[in-house]
């Protein structure tokens, strides 16, 4: 079973050395792990970047080198090189140039900002009170679609992150889920089943079951990740994640190597 979404101390708000993450992976019986630390804040000038939100640009080469060093040292595990990449509309060309300088197994596209508002940051949570929830959801899902269709990413991170602090709409936004799932299918990206949702006020895996079912019906493949920000969170909630996937009709999860995908059967997964 793979875990494709691990952070490390390098992003400034997670704890732990890569080696410690591998130790937990081994203890939990995972065979494959992918690091997906936050991309340097390419859309800001170096002096405006917040080193508590993402790794500094000079760290990226060290991050990549450490993964290959650890792969050589840990032949019993398969290590993958990923990155969690913020989607900032209008900055696609700049991002493509940045990403082309390196080699990755996969790129996880993420919407963390709505017109500069870091809506998933605890320190910016108060801003929900002054906003129209319907407008917020529409803006979020429209950016998510745009991100998928940009062609820059392989996987869409935590696709209903907007529910993180439990600001919910009265009615479940199934039409928004469907539009997003269709865009994922058209773009050939995976939906990420991300268990971090279980650790926040939403108390629910990203995406929720109805969104995941719609993705499955649209033929969108899925990956799985814990979004671990400390070593003991590797594989967090994977029993629930596999249950969630199966309830949505999935029999496999997707793996990547150098941005080509293949599959891993989850039918006989036991935890
Ligand atoms: Zn994220
Ligand atoms: Zn993450």
- State pLDDT tens for residues 248-264: 999 999 999 999 999 99
CB atoms within 10 A of CB 117: 15
pLDDT of 96-106, one tens digit each? 999 999 999 99
Q: How far is the CA of 225 from the centre of ligand 2 (A)?
A: 9
Cα 108 to averaged position of ligand 1 atoms, centre (Å): 9
The ligand whose atoms approach the alpha carbon of 36 most closely is 2
Question: What residues have CB less than 8 Å from 128, skipping those under 6 apart?
Answer: 119, 136, 165, 167
Contacts of 213 (CB under 8 A, 6+ apart): 247, 248, 249
- pLDDT of 68 higher than 80: yes
Report CA(112)–ligand 1 centroid distance (Å): 7
Stretch 60-83: mean pLDDT? 97
Rounded distance from Cα 83 to ligand 1 centre (Å)? 10
Distance 261 CA to ligand 2 centre (A): 20
In the reported structure, the alpha carbon of residue 196 is separated from the centroid of ligand 1 by a whole-number distance in angstroms of: 9
Q: How far does the centroid of ligand 1 lie from the alpha carbon of residue 163, in Å? A: 13
Q: What is the mean pLDDT of residues 141-163?
A: 98
CA of 216 to the centre of ligand 2 (A): 23
Fold category of 2-265 in CATH: TIM Barrel (3.20.20)
Q: Write out the E strands in the chain.
A: 2-6, 32-35, 78-86, 106-110, 155-156, 190-194, 222-225, 252-257, 260-265
C-alpha 188 – ligand 1 centre gap (Å): 20
Which pLDDT score, from 0 to 100, does residue 12 have?
Answer: 87
Q: Is the pLDDT at 270 greater than 80, yes or no?
A: no
Which residues make beta-bridge pairs with 155?
A: 108, 190
Cα-based distances in Å from 57 to 10, 77, 154: 11, 27, 22
Task: Tell me if the pTM is above 0.95.
Answer: yes
- DSSP letter at 12 equals S
Residue 5 has pLDDT above 90, yes or no: yes
117-140 average pLDDT score: 96
| Predicted confidence (pLDDT) per residue in 154-205, tens digit | 999 999 999 999 999 999 999 999 999 999 999 999 999 999 999 999 999 9
At residue 112, the pLDDT reads 98
Q: From the CA of 38, which ligand is nearest?
A: 2
- Determine the pLDDT at residue 268: 83
pLDDT in tens, 218-251: 999 999 999 999 999 999 999 999 999 999 999 9
CA of 227 to the centre of ligand 2 (A): 5
Q: Which residues contact 78 (CB under 8 A, 6 or more apart)?
A: 2, 31, 32, 33, 71
Q: How much distance in Å is there from the Cα of 161 to the middle of ligand 1? A: 8
pLDDT, position 74: 98
Short-list 200, 242, 246, CA closest to 225: 242
Reference 251, options 242, 259, 260; nearest CA is 242
């Amino acid at each position: 079973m793979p875990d494709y979404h691990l952070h490390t101390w390098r992003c400034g708000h997670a704890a732990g050395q890569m080696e410690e993450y591998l130790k937990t992976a081994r203890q939990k019986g995972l065979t494959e792990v992918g690091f997906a630390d936050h991309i340097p804040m390419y859309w800001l000038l170096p002096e405006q970047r917040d080193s508590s939100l993402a790794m500094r640009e000079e760290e990226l080469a060290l991050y990549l080198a450490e993964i290959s060093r650890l792969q050589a040292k840990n032949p019993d595990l398969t290590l993958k090189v990923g990155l969690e990449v913020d989607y900032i509309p209008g900055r696609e060309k700049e991002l493509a140039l940045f990403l082309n300088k390196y080699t990755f197994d996969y790129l996880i596209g993420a919407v963390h900002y709505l017109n500069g508002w870091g809506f998933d940051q605890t320190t910016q949570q108060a801003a929900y009170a002054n906003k129209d929830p319907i407008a917020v959801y529409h803006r979020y899902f429209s950016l998510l679609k745009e991100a998928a269709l940009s062609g820059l990413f392989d996987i869409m991170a935590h696709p209903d992150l907007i529910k993180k602090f439990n600001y919910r709409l009265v009615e479940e936004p199934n039409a928004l889920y469907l539009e997003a799932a269709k865009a994922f299918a058209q773009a050939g990206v995976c939906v990420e089943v991300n268990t971090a949702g279980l650790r926040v006020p939403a108390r629910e895996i990203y995406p929720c079951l109805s969104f995941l079912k719609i993705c499955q019906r649209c033929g969108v493949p899925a990956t799985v990740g814990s979004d671990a920000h400390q070593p003991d969170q590797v594989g967090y909630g994977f029993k629930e994640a596999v249950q969630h996937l199966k309830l949505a009709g999935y029999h496999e999860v997707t793996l990547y190597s150098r941005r080509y995908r293949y599959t891993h059967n989850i039918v006989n997964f036991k935890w």
